[in-house]
Structure 1
Amino acid sequence: MIEAAMIWNEPNNKSHWDPEVDPEWRMFADTVIRAGTAIHAANPAVTRVLGGMSPIDPHWVNHMRSLGALDAVDVVAVHGFPLDWNLWSIHDWPAKIAEIEAVVPDKPVWVTEVGVGSFGAEEVQVFGVQKTAELLVGRVPNIYWYSLFDLPQAWGATTRHREAEGSSYYRHFYMGLIREDGSTKPALENYAKVAGEMGLMQWFHYEDPRLDDAVRWMKRLGTKKLRTGLSWADSFRPNALDWFDRQMEALQDFEVTVTFCFTPEHLGIQPHHTSAAREPQQFADFCASMIERYAPASAASPTLALA
């Protein structure tokens, strides 16, 4: 079931990794090395993915290589939102992929988040699905469209700098193919045409009430691959393992890339989910325990190992 494990999410973006705590990403590189080693020891068949970078930056990748982090992963991942946040054209996708391939010719490049919101006009999202598929299907091994569902307005987007974003902050709430009220957007029909070749990226919050609906929609659409997350911070909530078990059991019919991220406040250098951990081995141990639980190396087939 678990095809791959991603180590963190957008680590070169201050929304997900605090640059004041770790300005040179040395702690992050150490975290990647420890986690990659632990995941491989738990199950060497699980592909290890360097947390999808945003922005797409070959210089940052070279820095990660200089710190030894690339030796602990099998795949380098990128995220891109050229019609919403990035200052480049959607037509530049092949060039952006080539920039990273040039500095990591020894590893495949995956697009683990790509999306176009409907904030300005839903017709723009229709175009975005069509053009993204045209440019990326067949160009990279794995693509994950962000996302299936709009983010509910009451939940708030996970970002450190909403005040600086201005109106672009609100785009976070319009990235889905299905509205908060459950109605579908026009772009869903276009996604359905490529669902077998373009996976979905969907975060599920702790005890997310949308989980079962997501599974029904993905099966109806013909989606084969899903990227989601298991939060280290959430693992300290009451009944966390019960929720993780329910989530992973519900997703067992898909090829899942699971993202491990979010520092528990009490374990961070700063009390925030973006902070480097005081003891990065604890994060590595969490990653290993999740792989042992949901993708055990001893399993004859990729099924759950629920306690």
Structure 2
Amino acid sequence: MLEAAMIWNEPNNKSHWDPGLDPDWMIFAETARLAGQAIRAESSRLPRVLGGISPIDPVFIMKMGERGVLAEMEAVAVHGFPLDWNLWQIHEWPAKLAEIRAVTELPVWVSEVGVSTFGAEEVQLWGLQRTAQLLAGQAPRIHWYSLYDLPRAWEATTRHREAEGSSYYRHFHMGLLREDGTPKLALEEFGRHTPALGLCQWFNFEDHRLEDAVTWMKRLGIRHLRTGLSWADSFRPDALAWFDRQMRALEEFEVTVTFCFTPEHRGPGQHHTSPPYEPLEFAQFCADMVRRYA
């Protein structure tokens, strides 16, 4: 069921890793390196992927190489949203991948790419078509983000929230389906690009959308899925029951599982973006999940 294990999500983005507590990613490098070793010890055949970076930054990848992180990985990954957040244009996708290939011999995955419908659904439709053209054959895995719009009642993980203006609200419009599960214009077009295009869909703890998401993914012909198991969630009551339910529901897909998010009580920042007090604890979580699901 597991196709790969991904270590963290956007580690060079302060929405997901606090640079104030780890300004040069020294703790992150140790955390990722130990996690890679722990995963390999449990399953030497399960590929390990460095969590998708955002922004796409070759200097960050070079730092990870210098600190021994890439020696524990079989691939690196990038995220790009040039029609919503990035300060580069969509036609630059091949050049952005080339920047990373220039500093590592590891394969480069695109583990999140997407277009919001914040302005208009027609923008997402065109962006999907253009993205599929530009990335065809360019990466071993391409995961489109996402199937569902983020529910308005949930918080979007972002750096500055309302200070970003309209950019903050784009988080809630990234789905091919609206919050109520009804299709947008781009949904049918997406089905024309599977299974070459995979999907990235995060499921919150005890997410009510899980079963409907599986139905839609089967209907769309999705083979490759990226999702996450949260270290922070592992401390909730009945966490393993939820993890089992989630992974059992996804067993027909080739899943890249992303391990991330620090429990509030296990890091100095008391937030899921905090580096952990003990990186070995995160490595142990990764090993436990690989032993359970791989």
Tell me the TM-score normalised to structure 2 length: 0.99
Q: 2:223 matched to 1:215? A: no
In 2, Cα distance between the equivalents of 1:49 and 1:232? 17
Amino acid at match of 1:71: A
> Cα offset for 1:167?
1.2
> Cα offset for 1:163?
2.9
In 2, Cα distance between the equivalents of 1:25 and 1:160? 17
In 1, Cα distance between the equivalents of 2:279 and 2:162? 30
Runs of at least 4 residues off by over 2 Å: none
Amino acid at match of 1:61: I
Q: 2:196 matched to 1:197? A: yes
> Cα offset for 1:33?
0.7
Number of the residue aligned with 1:122: 121
Number of the residue aligned with 2:24: 24
Number of the residue aligned with 1:54: 54
Aligned residue for 2:283, secondary structure, equals helix
Number of the residue aligned with 1:36: 36
* RMSD (Å), alpha carbons: 0.6
In 2, Cα distance between the equivalents of 1:168 and 1:118? 12
In 1, Cα distance between the equivalents of 2:5 and 2:179? 28
Give percent identity, aligned residues only: 67
Number of the residue aligned with 2:167: 168
Number of the residue aligned with 2:147: 148
Aligned residue for 2:13, secondary structure, equals coil
Q: 2:246 matched to 1:256? A: no
Aligned residue for 1:103, secondary structure, equals coil
Cα deviation digits, residues 143-173 of structure 1 (max 9, x gap): 0000000000001202241133111100000
**Higher mean C-alpha displacement, 59-68 vs 218-227:** 59-68
Aligned pair count reads 294
In 2, Cα distance between the equivalents of 1:42 and 1:164? 43
In 1, Cα distance between the equivalents of 2:158 and 2:94? 28
Number of the residue aligned with 1:300: none
Aligned residue for 1:52, secondary structure, equals strand
Amino acid at match of 1:186: L
In 1, Cα distance between the equivalents of 2:163 and 2:108? 31
In 2, Cα distance between the equivalents of 1:205 and 1:195? 25
Cα deviation digits, residues 255-283 of structure 1 (max 9, x gap): 00000000000001220100000001000
Number of the residue aligned with 1:134: 133
In 2, Cα distance between the equivalents of 1:274 and 1:38? 21
Aligned residue for 2:144, secondary structure, equals strand
Residue ranges of structure 2 left out of the alignment (5+ in a row)? none
Tell me the TM-score normalised to structure 1 length: 0.95
Number of the residue aligned with 1:299: none
Number of the residue aligned with 2:293: 294
